[in-house]
Each structure stands twice: as C-alpha cells, then as structure tokens.
Amino acid sequence: MWRVRSGVIEIVIATGNPHKLEEIAAIFAGEGLAGVQLRSLAELGKAFTEPCETGSTFEANASIKALSYAQQTGMLCLADDSGLEVDALGGKPGVISSHYATDGAETGASRAQRDAANNARLLRELVGVAPDKRSARFVCVMALARGGSLLHTSRGAFDGRIGVPPAVPRGGNGFGYDPLFLVAPGFARTGAELPPEEKNAKSHRAHAARQMAAWLRENAMQFKQA
C-alpha cells in the first residue's frame, strides 16, 4: 500500500535526477500543497527494474513508468515524460526527442553528444522552412499511479518556434533543444537564454506539475484516510 506517515503522504518520483525532484518539490510548495513528502528512487535504497518506454505518446510512456515503479515500490509514484513537438515535422521528434538522431536507439553517447546530434538533425530537416512555419512546443506529461492503477495525468506545454541559423543556436543556460527554441510570444530569446528561475516558472514541466499539485490538493484526503 502507499505510505502515509504522521499525516504525510509519501510520493516517490520516478527519476534519478535530483534537480527534477527539487524543481517539482518547489512547485508543489508554491502551490500550497502541504502534507506531501517527495522521495527519489535512490532514497529508497533498493535496486529497481527500469521499464521499457514503448509508448507512442508522452501519456503512454509517463503511465508506463508510473505504474511500474508504483508496483515495485508499493508507494504512490509520480513519473513524467517530455519532449519537443515541431509542427512542420508532424510532431517529431516527439517521444524520441532525447535520441532523435538515432531514431530512438540508445548508443551509449554522452548527453552532450546526443544533444549536438539531435540539434543537427532537427536543423537539417527544417532547411527551407520559413520562420513563421517553425512553430514548436516542449511538452511534459505527468502520471500518478498506485499499485496497478493510474490515478491522474497532467499535461503542460511551453510554446515557441525553432530558430533559423545562424541566429541559433545561442545561449548557455539550457540543454537539449533549448539553444534552438525561440520562446513565444516574442521569439526574441531562446530557451537557453532564459534565467533559470524564469524558465522554471514558464516551462512545460512547471505547468504539468502545477496541475498535478492542484489535483493532489483536492484529493489528498482520500489518501490520508486509506
């Protein structure tokens, strides 16, 4: 069963990234979500089997992760899946955003190598596409699960467009596609030029986390009584 200790609901976050855990915790606190303690998988001190993300949508992959780790840990589990959608490419890179250059295959390349290859492929595929036809968005879907049940999903988006070289890439604050992504509505700065606090406030993950926090706040009593 999920854990409730001294009126505090424990939720495990399906990530090994401590920065993501801190970001979600800060958003939850800012939304007035009290009585919830977030834990990382690493904190539990056990080895877990990483599920295969075989879904064709962000919702599917977030749900796969949430359900798998909820069953393995016996706790409420929150997982997310995110990526970039470019309209001129029919929504690609989509769920394979982090491995776009290799069509979703893991090759053992470093994060910096993957980012460079992914960005190069994206720019090649957009050659000749007019600036106003390069609309894009970062998408994040969060899924909350308990045991074998999916309880809730939330979706956030961060709108913009992909810039045209040599104006991009630029900026040193981001990673992934951030140096190529011109942020709406002004399209004057890339995601990699935003200060971290501004990016975290506007990001796709922030929007999804705030929606999830609202749902948890409204439904927390059912977990505390269970």
Domain limits at 196?
Answer: 4-225
* Active-site annotation holder among 81, 87, 103, 178: 81
pLDDT digits (tens, 9 = 90+) for 187-198: 999 999 999 889
Domain count for the chain: 1
Q: Is 129 helix (H, G, I), strand (E, B) or coil?
A: coil
Nearest CA among 51, 223, 67 for reference residue 145: 67
Ramachandran class of 32: left when φ > 0, alpha when ψ lies in -120 to 50, beta otherwise:
left
pLDDT at 7: 65
Tokens standing for residue 129: 């596409």
d(CA 55, CA 82): 12
Residue 223 has pLDDT above 70, yes or no: no
pLDDT digits (tens, 9 = 90+) for 50-102: 999 999 999 999 999 999 999 999 999 999 999 999 999 999 999 999 999 99
Residue 81 annotated in active site:
yes
Residue 5 has pLDDT above 80, yes or no: no
Q: Is 96 helix (H, G, I), strand (E, B) or coil?
A: helix
pTM of the model: 0.91
Residue 41 has pLDDT above 70, yes or no: yes
Question: How many CB atoms are located within 10 Å of the residue 42 CB?
Answer: 13
Name residue 103's amino acid.
D
Average pLDDT, the chain: 91
Which domain CATH number covers 64? 3.90.950.10
Lowest mean pLDDT among 3-12, 76-85, 115-124, 165-174: 3-12
Tell me what the mean pLDDT of segment 134-139 comes to. Answer: 98
